[in-house]
């Protein structure tokens, strides 16, 4: 049993913290939302009244917050996490944030003697509830080894990606691939429609040909070929277009800082921005098929 502090008990953090409780850990959690705190308490967690209280309660402290600005504020703000955690506490940020912030906060943590890992996840709310998340972890090997048993209570695949910031780098590179490949698959289905080629026939052929990829065979963006894909339930998420846009923007930010050429990533971000600005941000990201094929919504 490990004493764990958990800050950010939202759609992802809530079920992740609940799985830690289920695994027998003593979890003290905090969220600015009273409703999130109530759900956490109902799942057997101990509700704290501040970040400082949750931080001071743990040998390991996990954060799951919306974006980089929240992470900076929660860790380095006055009276916050870095000022409240006990000496020797291991800090783990599982939020998806920019690489620069991840490295800066880890550096500030190291300056106060704390080990810190960036450990963003993939697998969505379903993976968080089922404890089947994939963790992509950046930081020192000794901290990674220490985090393993805690992360194993929330996820199935746990990969040490390299030094600080590498987890975030892996996450945005993967999601840039996904955003681009989804648009590629959608364009092909939109062209097929114009050419009078049946969508199921294109699927049957491409699923066994060189166009094969996850966006096609697991998450097909047109209704029919893959019954479990969001296309068959009016594109209910899944993974929203808004979240895809967030990750594509993080990839663009990182590409600019690092001087990498990512022209298709830039186009993917622009297309998702159009879709989100058009009011479809809450739809699954595969609904970009509707946008590209000239359908509404
Ligand atoms: P969410 O908005 O549901 O949860 C974030 C929680 O943080 C909220 O409950 C909010 O009240 C709380 N919060 C904000 N500021 C706070 C503060 N200062 N102190 C304490 N609590 C604070 O978001 P989510 O869907 O749980 O996502 C969390 C992170 O996980 C994001 O970075 C997101 O990009 C990433 N992520 C989400 C998914 C997904 O499918 N939802 C998948 C992979 C990664």
Q: Average pLDDT of 18-31? A: 98
Beta carbon of 70 within 6 Å of any ligand 1 atom: yes
pLDDT in tens, 233-256: 999 998 999 999 999 999 999 999
Nearest CA to ligand 1 atom 29: 95
Beta carbon of 9 within 6 Å of any ligand 1 atom: yes
pLDDT for 293: 94
Nearest CA to ligand 1 atom 42: 124
Specify the domain boundaries for CATH 3.40.50.720 within the chain: 3-163
pLDDT for 80: 87
pLDDT in tens, 33-60: 999 999 999 999 999 999 999 999 999 9
Q: Average pLDDT of 84-107? A: 97
Number of helices (H) and strands (E) in the chain: give both, helices first: 14, 9
Mutation to probe ligand 1, out of 5, 11, 171, 238 (largest number of atoms < 8 A from CB): 11
Distance 36 CA to ligand 1 centre (A): 11
pLDDT for 25: 97
Mutation to probe ligand 1, out of 6, 9, 12 (largest number of atoms < 8 A from CB): 12
Q: Is the model's pLDDT at 206 over the cut of 90?
A: yes
pLDDT for 296: 61
Instruction: Verify whether residue 283 is a known catalytic residue.
Output: no
Beta carbon of 81 within 6 Å of any ligand 1 atom: no
Beta carbon of 56 within 6 Å of any ligand 1 atom: no
pLDDT for 198: 98
CATH homologous superfamily, domain 3-163: NAD(P)-binding Rossmann-like Domain (3.40.50.720)
pLDDT grade, residue 173 (50/70/90)? very high
Closest CA to 96 of 136, 54, 36, 49: 136
Nearest CA to ligand 1 atom 20: 31
Distance 216 CA to ligand 1 centre (A): 28
Specify the domain boundaries for CATH 1.10.1040.10 within the chain: 169-292
pLDDT for 78: 75
pLDDT grade, residue 149 (50/70/90)? very high
Beta carbon of 11 within 6 Å of any ligand 1 atom: yes
- State the catalytic residue, choosing from 46, 107, 142, 171: 171
Record: fold of 169-292: 1.10.1040
pTM, 2 dp? 0.94
| Mean pLDDT computed over every residue of the chain | 96
Q: Is the model's pLDDT at 297 over the cut of 90?
A: no
pLDDT for 162: 98
Query: What are the backbone dihedrals phi and psi of residue 15, each rounded to the nearest 5 degrees, phi first?
Result: -65, -30
Mutation to probe ligand 1, out of 18, 28, 35, 64 (largest number of atoms < 8 A from CB): 64
pLDDT in tens, 211-229: 999 999 999 999 999 999 9
């Amino acid at each position: 049993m490990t004493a764990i502090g958990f800050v950010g008990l939202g759609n992802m953090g809530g079920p992740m913290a609940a799985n830690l409780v289920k695994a027998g850990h003593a979890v003290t959690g905090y969220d600015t939302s009273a409703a999130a705190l109530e759900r956490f308490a109902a799942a057997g967690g101990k509700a704290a009244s501040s970040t400082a209280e949750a931080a001071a309660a743990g040998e390991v402290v996990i954060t799951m917050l919306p974006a980089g600005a929240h992470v900076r504020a929660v860790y380095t703000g006055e009276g916050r996490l870095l000022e409240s955690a006990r000496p020797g506490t291991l800090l783990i940020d599982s939020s998806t944030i920019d690489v620069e912030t991840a490295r800066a906060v880890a550096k500030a943590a190291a300056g106060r003697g704390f080990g810190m890992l960036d450990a963003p996840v993939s697998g969505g709310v379903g993976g968080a509830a089922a404890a089947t998340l994939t963790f992509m972890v950046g930081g020192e090997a000794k901290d990674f080894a220490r985090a393993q048993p805690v992360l194993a209570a929330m996820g199935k695949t746990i990969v040490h990606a390299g030094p600080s910031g590498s987890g975030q780098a892996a996450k945005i590179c993967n999601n840039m691939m996904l955003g681009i490949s989804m648009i590629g698959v959608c364009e092909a289905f939109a062209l097929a429609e114009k050419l009078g080629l049946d969508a199921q026939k294109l699927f049957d052929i491409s699923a066994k040909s060189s166009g094969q990829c996850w966006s096609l065979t697991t998450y097909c963006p047109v209704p029919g070929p893959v019954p479990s894909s969001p296309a068959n339930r009016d594109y209910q998420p899944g993974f929203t277009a808004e979240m895809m846009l967030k990750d594509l923007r993080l990839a663009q930010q990182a590409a600019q800082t690092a001087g990498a050429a990512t022209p298709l990533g830039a186009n993917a971000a622009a297309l998702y921005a159009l879709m989100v600005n058009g009011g479809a941000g809450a739809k699954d990201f595969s609904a970009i098929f509707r946008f590209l094929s000239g359908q509404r919504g």
